[in-house]
């Protein structure tokens, strides 16, 4: 229960600082523009399909694959850059503010603090996902996308955002400088989500797949997210996100409590 | 049962020994002044009393609870005002104090009353709905004090509660501490440990003086017996700290 008090205070302070408003504004504007560009892309696809149909060829276009999927994919990348700005202050702010001393001398367990902060970050991420969900909701008014596939895409974005909040919170717990927390989160997320699969693919041509390569491929967020985005809900991918979140929360708790045994 | 029990407390930061084998007891209702030059180890000792820092050696019991074996109960029993009050500048005074009741584990039904009592005792009624960041330094110190007393802990630890304030604010804060330490209607008294390097402050509010010099306890006596025979506290202070320095 004490974790809830911490989460509520953190959420309130998000909305007192300009950072939350800047992040939400950028997020909404980018969502709108990426949705528009995906929509234009879809219209071009459709026009092409009509032309081909005139020649007797049947090409199927589909709202989910040609519009929602690229739109969610773009928002995933945007999130990777925006979420660290929200998580950078989670713990570093308490340290630079001197309020860490209040938290650590209160009758709180490490988990109360860590889960409280994580819940605040998760609630903010949920708000971002709700903004994104507005755009496919428009499509339901004017067309008939597949509800299951759309929901699975939103789930992918939400799960990946939870993982990012957990990573960002850990980075924030390591330093009192918010800029360092931001940069290290961004770099970790880039390596974890983007570079790792790239490194794995680089070696793909040479020899048969090694245990190291498939292991690294599994650690990367990219493949799990992509599968969910395309509508494939696999327990293995859900478990992956649960493991990443749990692992980083555990690391964060250790880091928060380390002041007691250092 | 003493309110605070400290046995052979030591703290090392790397190869530097900040606190060296300090032992003392504080009885319930006593007001003890931690006196010593800057850097003597007062803050480190207080941080160990509040459970913020772990001791390298020795043990601390607060209201009978060991800070290592029963950390939550021990921390529950302490109200702590660090040297810089731990405030969130963007919060309003009443909301902040209410948040502190939640993390200190005050039952939900008693929170409103606890907040009102703390605000009233610290003279914050008029600024209850002001944002902390807009308050003057004196008021921020009062908010810090309200935060420390809001859950009505048996032990209060105040680290340099008057540092950086103007003479009038110092008077006000001292008066507040005296009011907090005064016996209540039900006969209970709050135990107060405060650190300072201002000698008049000790003379004004403390029952007992513990002098810390370079990490070690140099003196531990009731104020009355110290100043008996017309000696001023200043003489005692310089005598003890100089004697130590002369004989390394």
For residues A63 and A150, give the distance between their C-alpha atoms in angstroms, rounded to a whole number: 10
- Find tokens 């008693």 and name the residue: B110
Domain chopping of chain A, boundaries = 21-109+125-260
Question: What was the pLDDT predicted at A116?
Answer: 96
> How many beta-carbon contacts under 8 Å exist across A and B?
71
For residues A75 and A89, give the distance between their C-alpha atoms in angstroms, rounded to a whole number: 23
Q: State pLDDT tens for residues B41-87.
A: 899 999 999 989 999 999 999 999 999 899 999 999 999 999 899 99
Three-state DSSP state, A131: helix
Question: What was the pLDDT predicted at A197?
Answer: 66
Question: What was the pLDDT predicted at A214?
Answer: 74
- pLDDT tops 50 at residue B8: yes
Chain B residues bordering chain A (beta-carbon distance below 8 Å): 50-54, 71-73, 75-76, 78, 80, 82, 84-91, 95, 99-100, 102-105, 147
**Nearest CA-CA distance, residue B86 and chain A, Å:** 4
Of A9, A13, A106, the CB nearest to B75: A106
* Between B164 and B159, residue with greater pLDDT: B159
| Regions of chain A short of the pLDDT cut 70 | 197, 200-210, 262
Chain A residue numbers with beta carbons less than 8 Å from the beta carbon of B147 are: 102
Chain A residue numbers with beta carbons less than 8 Å from the beta carbon of B99 are: 5, 9
The chain B residue lying nearest A16, using CA atoms, is: B90
Question: What was the pLDDT predicted at A54?
Answer: 82
Q: State pLDDT tens for residues B121-139.
A: 888 989 999 999 999 988 9
Q: How high is the ipTM of this complex?
A: 0.88
Using CA atoms, how far residue B97 sits from A92, A241, B67, B74, B180, in Å, is 22, 37, 25, 21, 17
Q: State pLDDT tens for residues B209-248.
A: 898 888 888 888 888 777 776 677 777 777 777 665 554 4
Question: What was the pLDDT predicted at B203?
Answer: 82
**Nearest CA-CA distance, residue B210 and chain A, Å:** 23
Total-model pTM = 0.90
**Nearest CA-CA distance, residue A257 and chain B, Å:** 10
Question: What was the pLDDT predicted at A53?
Answer: 83
Question: What was the pLDDT predicted at A207?
Answer: 58
Domain chopping of chain B, boundaries = 1-77+200-248
DSSP B33-91: EEE--TTSSHHHHHHHHTTSS--SEEEEEETTEETTTSHHHHHHTEEEE-SS----TTS
Say how far residue B84 (Cα) sits from the centre of its chain.
Answer: 12
For residues A236 and B97, give the distance between their C-alpha atoms in angstroms, rounded to a whole number: 45
Chain B residue numbers with beta carbons less than 8 Å from the beta carbon of A5 are: 99, 102-103
**Nearest CA-CA distance, residue B25 and chain A, Å:** 21
Chain A residues bordering chain B (beta-carbon distance below 8 Å): 2, 5-6, 9, 12-13, 16-17, 97-109, 112, 259-261
Mean pLDDT of chain B: 87
Please give the CATH number for the structural domain made up of B1-77+200-248. 3.40.50.300
Three-state DSSP state, A145: coil
Q: Residue A161: name the closest of A234, A227, A75 by CA.
A: A75
Q: State pLDDT tens for residues A125-179.
A: 999 999 999 999 988 888 888 888 999 999 999 999 999 999 999 999 999 999 9
């Amino acid at each position: 229960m004490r974790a809830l008090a911490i989460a509520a205070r953190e959420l309130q302070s998000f909305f007192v600082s300009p950072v939350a408003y800047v992040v939400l504004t950028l997020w909404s504007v980018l969502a709108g523009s990426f949705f528009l560009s995906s929509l234009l892309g879809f219209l071009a696809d459709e026009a092409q399909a009509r032309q081909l149909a005139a020649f007797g060829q049947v090409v199927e276009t589909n709202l989910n694959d040609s519009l929602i999927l690229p739109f969610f994919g773009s928002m995933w990348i945007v999130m990777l850059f925006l979420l660290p700005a929200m998580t950078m202050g989670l713990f570093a702010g308490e340290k630079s503010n001197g309020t860490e001393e209040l938290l650590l001398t209160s009758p709180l367990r490490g988990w109360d603090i860590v889960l409280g902060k994580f819940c605040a970050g998760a609630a903010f991420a949920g708000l971002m996902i709700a903004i994104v969900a507005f755009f496919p909701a428009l499509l339901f008014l004017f067309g008939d996308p597949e509800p299951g596939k759309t929901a699975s895409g939103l789930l992918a974005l939400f799960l990946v955002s939870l993982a990012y909040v957990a990573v960002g919170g850990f980075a924030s717990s390591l330093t009192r400088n918010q800029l360092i927390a931001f940069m290290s989160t961004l770099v970790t997320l880039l390596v974890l989500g983007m570079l790792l699969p790239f490194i794995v693919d680089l070696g793909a041509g040479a020899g048969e797949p090694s245990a190291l390569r498939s292991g690294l491929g599994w650690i990367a967020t990219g493949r799990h997210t992509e599968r969910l985005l395309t509508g494939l809900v696999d327990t293995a991918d859900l478990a992956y996100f649960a493991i990443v979140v749990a692992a980083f929360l555990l690391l964060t708790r250790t880091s928060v409590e380390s002041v007691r045994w250092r | 049962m003493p309110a605070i029990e400290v046995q052979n407390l030591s703290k090392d930061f790397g190869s530097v020994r900040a606190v060296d084998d300090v032992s003392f007891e504080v009885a319930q209702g006593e007001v003890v002044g931690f006196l010593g030059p800057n850097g003597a180890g007062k803050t480190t000792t207080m941080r160990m009393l509040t459970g913020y820092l772990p001791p390298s050696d020795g043990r601390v019991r607060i209201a009978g609870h060991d800070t290592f074996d029963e950390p939550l109960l021990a921390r529950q029993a302490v109200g702590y005002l660090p040297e810089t009050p731990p405030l969130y500048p963007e919060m309003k005074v009443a909301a902040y104090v209410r948040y502190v009741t939640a993390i200190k584990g005050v039952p939900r039904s008693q929170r409103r009353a606890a907040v009102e009592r703390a605000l009233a005792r610290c003279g914050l009624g008029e600024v209850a709905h002001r944002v902390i960041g807009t308050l003057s330094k004196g008021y921020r110190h009062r908010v810090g004090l309200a935060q420390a007393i809001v859950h009505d802990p048996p032990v209060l630890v105040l680290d340099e509660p008057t540092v950086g304030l103007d003479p009038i604010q110092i008077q006000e804060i001292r008066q507040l501490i005296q009011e907090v330490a005064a016996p209540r209607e039900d006969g209970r008294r709050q135990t107060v440990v405060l650190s300072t390097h201002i000698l008049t402050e000790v003379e004004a509010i403390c029952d007992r003086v513990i002098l810390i010099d370079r990490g070690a306890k140099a003196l531990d006596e009731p104020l009355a017996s110290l100043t008996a025979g017309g000696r001023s506290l200043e003489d005692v202070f310089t005598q003890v700290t100089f004697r130590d320095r002369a004989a390394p």
